[in-house]
Amino acid sequence: MHSIPSVRTYVTIWAILTIMTFVTFYVAQIDLGPWNVVVALIIAFFKMMLVVLFFMNVKADSPLTKLFAGAGFFWLILLVGQTLIDYISRSWMPNGKFW
Amino acid sequence: MADTHAVATEHEHSPHLRHHFDDMAQQFDSATLGMWVFLLTEIMFFGGMFCAYSVYRSMYPEAFASTSQYMNPKFGAFNTAILIVSSLSMALAVRAARLGQRKALQLLLVITMIFGLAFLGVKAFEYHEHWVDMKVPLFAGHWDYSQAPQFARQAQILFCFYFFMTGFHALHMIVGVGLLTTILVMAHKGTFSPEYFTPVEISGLYWHFVDIVWIFLFPLLYLIGHTRQLI
């Protein structure tokens, strides 16, 4: 198995995650137009990566486990991405445009 | 750490080593991989809802944004912070299990469960607020959107997503608390050692996954107010 991360590592990750929660909370109150959701999702993505790599310790897991974890995220992107591409490109949106 | 341990105990065979595995390390890696396969099905389960949410939000951005005044981002942010603390204590519980610190493991599991239950308490309070506000389209007679009648029908879609996504998330939290109760009993009985702590690790993976789902639910459901047009 793997070396055991220190308490300091876990607490540092926790602090970063908490700070990012406050950042996403306050950034949402600034009107960035369509970019609000982009910024929110980028922050959520980084928080997810911190949890996956450090709290779930995938960083130290076997390459096979890393592949599976990555595949899950890849499939999710396919699911959401391809569906949205369909909706955008076929003019299925009620107001005739995506944005 | 367990590598040396596994070699030392190989001949006497750890009581936790199943016969179809070479050693404890291989058994541990297999269990971790198996849990990740289960988590992939969970990603697809929640992914379907996230996907449908994205489509409808891009269809009716104004109606979705109009619901923001009935969501309290402070509760959402507070609950996010609570869940992150519970994830920290869960990660530390796994660490304690790996180090064979039985008392610390039990204490950290209890802390994790307390924060998990606190999350559910805040969530129940929010559901009650929505019920009082008449923002529960799932039940006849509990939907009133006369504040913005032009969005009355479309805003129902968001609230349906809200209740299903947070509801399924809360259900996963309840299952998680149940899991940790089992782990706590096992820890109390002294089942775990630095050589064998797989159930703690696996339950930890589940707990962190549920945390990640909330990390995405929070900005998508609570923080859509100020944006008029979005994905």
Cα gap A56→A60, rounded to integer Å:
9
Query: Could you tell me if A56 and A67 lie in one domain?
Result: no
Helices (H) and strands (E) in chain B, counts: 7, 0
How many angstroms separate the CA of residue B146 from the nearest CA in chain A?
23
Contacts of B202 in chain A (CB under 8 A): none
CB B1 within 8 A of CB A5: no
CATH class belonging to B38-222: mainly alpha
- Interface contact A83-B88, CB threshold 8 A: no
In single-letter form, the type of residue at position B8 comes to A
Average predicted confidence (pLDDT) for chain A: 88
Contacts (Cβ under 8 Å, ≥6 apart) of A80: B47, B50, B51, B54
* pLDDT one-digit tens code per residue, B120-146: 999 999 999 999 988 888 887 888 888
Q: Closest approach of chain A CAs to the CA of B230, in angstroms? A: 5
Nearest Cβ partner for B54 among A1, A84, A94: A84
Question: Are A38 and A49 in a shared domain?
Answer: yes
**B98 and B193 Cβ atoms separated by less than 8 Å:** no
Which residues have a Cβ under 8 Å from the Cβ of B220 and sit 6 or more positions away? A37, A40, B50, B53, B57
Q: For tokens 């974890």, what's the residue?
A: A69
Distance (Å, rounded) from C-alpha B13 to C-alpha B150?
70
pLDDT value of position B11: 54
Segments making up each domain of chain B, as ranges:
38-222
Q: Is the pLDDT of residue A85 over 60?
A: yes
Are A11 and A37 part of one and the same domain? yes
In whole angstroms, give the CA distance from residue B222 to residue A36. 12
Residue range(s) defining the domain that contains residue A23: 1-61
Could you give the percent of chain A with pLDDT greater than 70? 89
**The pLDDT of residue B102:** 94
* Residue B31: closest CA among B208, B213, B206: B206
| Together in a domain, A73 and A99 | yes
CA-CA distance, B162 to B156, in Å (whole number)?
Answer: 10
The residue of chain A with its CA nearest to that of B154 is A94
Residue A11: CB partners within 8 Å, gap ≥ 6? B88
CB atoms within 10 A of CB A83: 15
For residue B146, what is the DSSP state? Answer: T
Distance from CA of B227 to the nearest CA of A (A): 5
Report the pLDDT value the prediction gives residue B66, as an integer from 0 to 100. 86
Q: Which chain A residues have a beta carbon less than 8 Å from that of B215?
A: 44, 47-48, 51
For residues A56 and A71, membership in a common domain is answered with: no
Is residue A51 domain-shared with residue A6, that is, in the same domain? yes
Q: Are residues A34 and A44 in the same domain?
A: yes
Maximum average pLDDT range among A10-19, A80-89, B10-19, B57-66:
A10-19
* Interface contact A1-B51, CB threshold 8 A: no
In terms of domains, do A15 and A41 share one?
yes
How close does chain A come to B40, measured CA to CA in Å? 5
Q: Are residues A17 and A44 in the same domain?
A: yes
The per-residue pLDDT for range A31-69, each reduced to its tens digit, is 887 788 899 999 999 999 999 999 999 998 889 999 999
- Which 8-state DSSP code applies to residue B83? H
Q: Point out the residues of chain B with pLDDT beneath 70.
A: 1-12, 225-231
Q: Are residues A55 and A28 in the same domain?
A: yes
What is the ipTM metric for this complex? Answer: 0.91
Task: Count CB pairs under 8 A between chains A and B.
Answer: 163
- Check CB contact of B212 with chain A, cutoff 8 Å: yes
Q: Supply the pLDDT for residue A1.
A: 52
> pLDDT tens for residues B88-99?
999 999 999 999
Q: Do A24 and B59 touch (CB under 8 A)?
A: no
Q: Does B223 contact A1 at a Cβ distance shorter than 8 Å?
A: no
Q: Kindly state whether residues A9 and A36 are assigned to the same domain.
A: yes
Number of domains in chain A: 2
Q: Are residues A44 and A81 in the same domain?
A: no
Locate B177 and state its tokens.
């608390």
